[in-house]
Amino acid sequence: MKSTAIALQTAEDSADTGAQQIRDAIRDAIVERRLSPGTKLSENDVGNLFNVSRTLARAALQALSYEGLVSVEKNRGAFVAYPSPEEARQIFAARRLVEPGILREAAARITPSQIQHLKQLLLEEGRLMGERGQTARRAEIKASGDFHLTLAAISGNAIMQRFMDELVARSSLVIALYGQSTISSCGHSEHGDIVAAIERNDLDEACRLMLHHIAHIEADLDLRERKSVGLKEAFEL
Amino acid sequence: MKSTAIALQTAEDSADTGAQQIRDAIRDAIVERRLSPGTKLSENDVGNLFNVSRTLARAALQALSYEGLVSVEKNRGAFVAYPSPEEARQIFAARRLVEPGILREAAARITPSQIQHLKQLLLEEGRLMGERGQTARRAEIKASGDFHLTLAAISGNAIMQRFMDELVARSSLVIALYGQSTISSCGHSEHGDIVAAIERNDLDEACRLMLHHIAHIEADLDLRERKSVGLKEAFEL
DNA sequence: GTGCAAAATATCGTATACAATTTAGCCGTC
DNA sequence: GACGGCTAAATTGTATACGATATTTTGCAC
């Protein structure tokens, strides 16, 4: 198997050049659920896949481990993160904690053209929901997260934006693991409601809706401890 | 110069072994202000200082760059971060955003022994304020941050705790750069007030005090744009 | 055929080596 | 004396190499 999916933006200004691209490519693959939780990411394989040395592969995996998307176990290797139910709860607790604040900040600074941009996103999201197929599903997942990330971007705080990046990405992992409903991106309409509340400047309501929205996503999860079923238990009985 | 200051905790379970120690050592040096913003951290020097190869030095610097304590510029090297006034504002905005929430969560779960622990910290902090000398000053800086970090730990959310780690460390950098008053750790008494409010279960007041406290720290900063004064301007006139 | 021990294999941890880029010094010209 | 370009030194970017640790396989005894 040769290098399959690269094709990302050219480059940023910071960080080491090569590793960044690999990092982003893997990150996208995880967020779009082409890579399942627990999948082993050996440095050799990653390096071969992107035609770089283990050095760069390793750097990329390290970077991903800082965001919690990959867990590296000493002398054993790197794996796509497999968040525990407790971790999942903490991720959503963190989102409940920060997203209302981000929303308030964003609403305070939002411009008409940015509102337009948000609506554009919503439209796109709705369109994807109608389509069929894996690619549409993946795009939909991404679009669903993009709504929250765009709000963070509008808030104008780069630090919170980066944090939300991490939280949204990890949320995607959690949903992949524990999500029940087939509807991957829950409550598209809820996004619309939030925008509407922002537009009529009803911040308290917007925050309430945001919290409701997050709770709604979380409610779709089945966070019972799974005892790594891959063993004989799966076949007994 | 040989290896000077190591002596940290032995090891953790995750991440690569060696780089972690170096990372922590440099991190401590930055937070305690033994390393000034803008100081160049060449991979060679770091490696020599800790008697490891550039590989590990590089990994440590990369890790620090993810926390925003070090900025690596492509093909130019790594430097102790020199946060811009805008960055400084965002750091404190982020703290105002998350710390009340963390405080509420912590207060809801806090046990008597943890309250005791907090008071212990306060005592230690007060003791250090009385002492003289660089080492006492450094310990005081660390203790001041530890109060906020302990609260995050008590909240029981590992994700928020890690985020606070980053925010507190970066705050230390900002204060080193833009702080005016000689009193490095402002408002020790404010920490005490917060604990008191928690103890009598007055959460709203505790949050109010926390926000006031953060604002107080920020008010001591002089966040005017400094046009990299290292040039001729410093000598003209 | 099952269970354990030991070699073989795969994979990670770290160091070293080489290529590419930037920075500093030098020299000649204007 | 100041400016511009050229060469040399220093520093980073990436690859390869070697030793250490974990995993799998093999072989043998029971």
- Å: B231 CA to C23 C1': 18
In order of A21, A97, B98, the CA distances from B105 in angstroms are 38, 10, 11
CA distance A149 to A157: 11
Which residue stretches of chain A are H helix? Answer: 17-31, 43-50, 54-66, 85-109, 112-130, 134-155, 158-178, 188-199, 203-219
Strand C at less than 7 A from CB of A104? no
CA distance, residue B131 to nearest chain A CA (Å): 35
Chain B nearest-CA residue for A16 = B74
pLDDT number for residue A231? 41
In the beta sheet, which residues pair with residue B71?
Answer: B79
Q: For nucleotide D16, give the residue with the nearest CA to its C1'.
A: A53
Query: CA of A54 vs C1' of D27, distance in Å?
Result: 35
Q: Residue type at B20?
A: Q
Task: Give tens-digit pLDDT for B59-105.
Answer: 999 999 999 999 999 999 999 999 999 999 999 999 999 999 999 99
- Is the pLDDT reported for residue B229 higher than 80? no
By three-state DSSP, how is residue B59 classified? helix
User: What is the pLDDT confidence band of residue B192, given thresholds at 50, 70 and 90?
Assistant: very high
* Residues paired with residue A73 on neighbouring β-strands, in sequence order: A77, B14
Confidence of residue B236 (pLDDT cuts 50, 70, 90): very low
Banded model confidence at residue A28, pLDDT cuts 50, 70, 90: very high
What mean pLDDT is predicted for residues A40-59?
96
- Cβ of B62 under 8 Å from any chain A Cβ? yes
Beta carbons of A72 and B16 less than 8 Å apart: yes
Q: What is the pLDDT of residue B182?
A: 65
**pLDDT tens-place string over residues B30-64:** 999 999 999 999 999 999 999 999 999 999 999 99
Q: What is the pLDDT of residue A182?
A: 65
**Test the A interface: residue of B10, B96, B163 with most A CBs within 10 Å:** B163
Q: Is A54 on the interface with B (CB under 8 A)?
A: no
Using DSSP's 3-state secondary structure scheme, residue A191 falls into helix
Distance in angstroms (rounded) separating the CA atoms of residues A203 and A197: 7
Distance, in Å, from the CA atom of B185 to the CA atom of A205, rounded to the nearest integer, reads 39
Compute CA distances B111 → B117, B154, B160, B202, B226, whole Å. 10, 9, 19, 15, 46
Give A67-111 pLDDT, tens digit per residue.
999 999 999 999 999 999 999 999 999 999 999 999 999 999 999
CATH superfamily of A85-219: GntR ligand-binding domain-like (1.20.120.530)
B97:A160 CB<8 A: yes
Distance A232 CA to D28 C1' (A): 28
Q: What are phi and psi of B70, to 5 degrees?
A: -135, 140
pLDDT of residue A183: 62
Nucleotide closest to residue A42 (CA–C1'): C11
With CA atoms as reference, the chain A residue closest to B68 would be A159
Nearest to B108 by CA among B173, B180, B43, B201: B201
Tell me if chain A has a CB within 8 Å of the CB of B10: no
Q: Which residues touch strand D (CB under 7 A)?
A: A 16-19, 51-56, 74-76; B 40, 42-44, 54-55, 58, 72, 74-78
Do B106 and B213 contact (CB within 8 A), yes or no?
no
A-to-B residue pairs, Cβ atoms closer than 8 angstroms: 89
Nearest CA-CA partner of B68 in B175, B166, B158: B166
B134-143, B148-157, B203-212, B221-230: least confidently modelled range: B221-230
Average pLDDT for B115-141: 90
To the nearest whole number, what is the mean pLDDT of chain A? Answer: 87
> CA B224, CA B34: separation in Å to the nearest integer?
24
pLDDT reading at A11 higher than 50:
no
Q: How far is the CA of A231 from the C1' of D30 (A)?
A: 28
Q: What is the pLDDT of residue A181?
A: 77
| Residue in A13, A90, A157 nearest the CB of B158 | A90
pLDDT at B153 over 80: yes
The confidence band for A232, taking pLDDT boundaries of 50, 70 and 90, is very low
The full DSSP string for A205-219 is HHHHHHHHHHHHHHH
Q: Do B16 and A160 touch (CB under 8 A)?
A: no
CB neighbour burial string for A129-150, b if at least 16 within 10 angstroms, e if fewer? beeeeeeebbbbbbbbbbbbbb
Among B59, B65, B87, whose Cβ lies nearest the Cβ of A15? B65
Kindly list the residues from chain A whose CB atom is less than 8 angstroms away from the CB atom of residue B93.
105, 157, 159-160
Residue B217 CA, chain-centre distance (Å), reads: 13
Q: What is the pLDDT of residue B185?
A: 56
Q: What percent of chain B has pLDDT over 90?
A: 73
Predicted confidence (pLDDT) per residue in A158-199, tens digit:
999 999 999 999 999 999 999 887 665 556 789 999 999 999
- At B107, the amino acid letter reads A
Stretch B163-184: mean pLDDT = 89
Chain A 48..77 CB hits on strand C (< 7 A): 54-55, 58, 72, 74-77
**Rounded mean pLDDT of chain B?**
87
Flag the least confident range among A214-223, A227-236, B103-112. Answer: A227-236
Tens of pLDDT, residue by residue over A215-225, are: 999 998 998 87
Contact A15 B72 (CB under 8 A): yes
A147, amino acid identity: F
Q: Indicate yes or no: strand C within 7 A of the C-beta of B14.
A: no
Residue B112: pLDDT band by 50, 70, 90 thresholds?
very high
DSSP conformation class of B79: E
DSSP 8-class letter at B185: S
> What CA–CA distance (Å, rounded) separates B158 from A88?
11
DSSP state of A221: B
Nucleotide with the nearest C1' to B41 CA: D11
CA-CA distance, B66 to B62, in Å (whole number)? Answer: 7
User: Rounded to whole angstroms, how far apart are CA atoms B166 and B67?
Assistant: 6
Q: 10 Å Cβ neighbour count for A93?
A: 19
Distance, in Å, from the CA atom of B8 to the CA atom of B50, rounded to the nearest integer, reads 13
Tokens 């893997």, located at residue: A26
Distance from CA of A48 to the nearest CA of B (A): 20
B97 at the A interface (CB within 8 A)?
yes
The whole-number Å distance from B74's CA to C27's C1' is: 30
At residue B228 the predicted structure's pLDDT band, cuts being 50, 70 and 90, is: low
pLDDT for the residue B184: 55
- Please tell me the predicted confidence (pLDDT) of residue A15: 60
According to DSSP, residue B35 is labeled: S
Find the mean pLDDT for residues B212-229.
83
**CA–CA separation, A229 vs A233, rounded Å?**
6
- Give the CATH architecture of domain B17-80: Orthogonal Bundle (1.10)
What distance in Å separates the CA atoms of residue A62 and residue A78, rounded to the nearest whole number? Answer: 9
Rounded Cα–Cα distance for residues A35 and A26 (Å): 8
Write down the pLDDT at residue B181. 77
User: Of all residues in chain B, what percent carry a pLDDT higher than 70?
Assistant: 86
Instruction: Name the band, by pLDDT with cuts 50, 70 and 90, for residue A141.
Output: confident
- Distance in Å, residue A13 CA to nucleotide C27 C1': 35
- Interface confidence, given as ipTM, is 0.89
Domain ranges of chain B: 17-80, 85-219
pLDDT of residue B180: 86
Q: How many Å does it take to go from CA A162 to C1' D13?
A: 26
Structure tokens that stand for A134 in this block? 């894996």
Distance of CA A131 to the CA centre of its chain: 21
